[in-house]
Each structure stands twice: as structure tokens, then as C-alpha cells.
Amino acid sequence: MKKKYIETIAKPKPEEYEFENIILTTIDKVLSWARYSSLWPLTFSTACCAIEMMAAASAHHDMSRFGMEVYRATPRQADLMIVAGTITYKMAPRVKRLYDQMPEPKYVIAMGACATSGGPFHMSYGVMNGVDKIIPVDIYIPGCPPKPEALLDGIMKLREKIKDDRHLTRKVNETIKVLKNMRKK
């Protein structure tokens, strides 16, 4: 009885399943796909750009299609920082601390004239002329304030940048350099 059961099972021929369910890719591409498909934003809003950011998160614009369902309240859960509004010298250490608390890889969008260049207050003694003086910025969105569509366009540009990113390869190469330098000493 047992032998008869085994004989009735048809073995698939190799050519039947040769190219089914096979994906050839690199780990970097898989990780980049996961990153750009689910950005977790942290907001640092100090001015009128925050209103436009809230409008971009509304159902009309549907940021959830980018995997950005909820804005994060803590930097340890975020990989994208959206800086919107004027940054003063007094705020700068806090912005830097929030950025440093974000896990790698991390991205920054400077939204609006105030965050990119100081805006109308750039001549003031207490205002920084752009957040890029304290943290690296990946995408600049001009405008005073920029429309929600501009923020969505900036997010789509960031997603393209993330898609082409080779973060793992870069980190491995950095580690190899460190190990080689340690070995020489």
C-alpha cells in the first residue's frame, strides 16, 4: 500500500519550475526597497510650514501610500526628520540631539524657506541660516510655506534617492577600512 502511494506522486520536471519564484537581487536592493516603502517621519515644526505638513498628512493627499501612516513622537522610532520652520541658535543643540538619536540610516528634509535658508528672518541675530549648518540635509523644499504637494514631491525624490542607496555596502567598506587600519598598527 505504501509503495503504491509513493509511485502515484508525480515528480515535477526541472524545466517546469526552473524560473518560477526565483528572484535575483542584492541585499542592498532588498533593504533599500524596505526603507523607501516605509518611511517613519519625525517632525520638528516651529512655524507655518507645520500647517502645510498637517495638510499633506490628510486623507486628501494620502501619505500612507508611501508607508508614512503615523508621524513618530520619538527619534528612536524614526528614520526621516522633517524640519519645518525657523531654527534659532538656541534650538540648534536640540535639533542635533534629535538627529543623533535617530537610528541609521537616517534622512532629513528641510521644508520651507526658514528651514533651508533662514527665510524672512535670516538677518536676525538669533536665527540660523538653514538647518544644514548643524545636520546634513538630503532634500530641500523651497517655499514660504511650501504647498502639501511640494512636500509629497520631496518625499518622492527622497524615495528615489533611498532606492539607489547602497547603505550596507558602504558600511561594510567602512568596517573593512577600520579593520585594515587596526591591523597595520
Instruction: Report how many domains make up the chain.
Output: 1
Bridge partners of 127, per DSSP, are 88
Domain-embedded: residue 156 = yes
Q: Examine residue 67 and state whether it is found in any structural domain, yes or no.
A: yes
Within-domain flag for 10: no
Alpha helices in the chain (DSSP H): 2-8, 14-17, 27-37, 49-56, 92-101, 113-117, 148-163, 167-184
User: Are 101 and 75 contacting, i.e. CB atoms less than 8 angstroms apart?
Assistant: yes
Range(s) of the domain holding residue 125: 41-161
The answer to whether residue 83 is domain-embedded is yes
Do residues 63 and 24 touch, judged by C-beta distance below 8 A?
no
Classify residue 28: in a domain, yes or no.
no
Q: Nearest Cα to 159, choosing from 70, 96, 65?
A: 65
The reply to whether 45 falls in a domain is: yes
Cα–Cα distance, 180 to 166 (Å, whole number)? 21
Domain annotation covers residue 65? yes
Specify the DSSP class assigned to residue 77. G
Which cell goes with 141?
523644499
pLDDT tens, position by position, 167-176: 667 777 778 8
Q: How far is CA 96 from CA 10, 54, 75, 114, 132, in A?
A: 63, 23, 11, 17, 11
Question: Using one digit for the tens of pLDDT, what is the confidence trace for 107-162?
Answer: 999 999 888 988 888 888 888 888 999 999 999 999 888 898 898 899 889 888 88
Whether 72 maps to a domain, the answer reads yes
Instruction: Give me the pLDDT at residue 134, please.
Output: 93
What's the pLDDT tens digit per position in 2-34?
A: 555 555 556 666 666 566 666 677 777 777 777
How far, in Å, CA of 85 to CA of 76, rounded? 22
List the CATH number of the domain containing 53.
3.40.50.12280
Nearest C-alpha neighbor of 112 from the set 52, 181, 178: 52
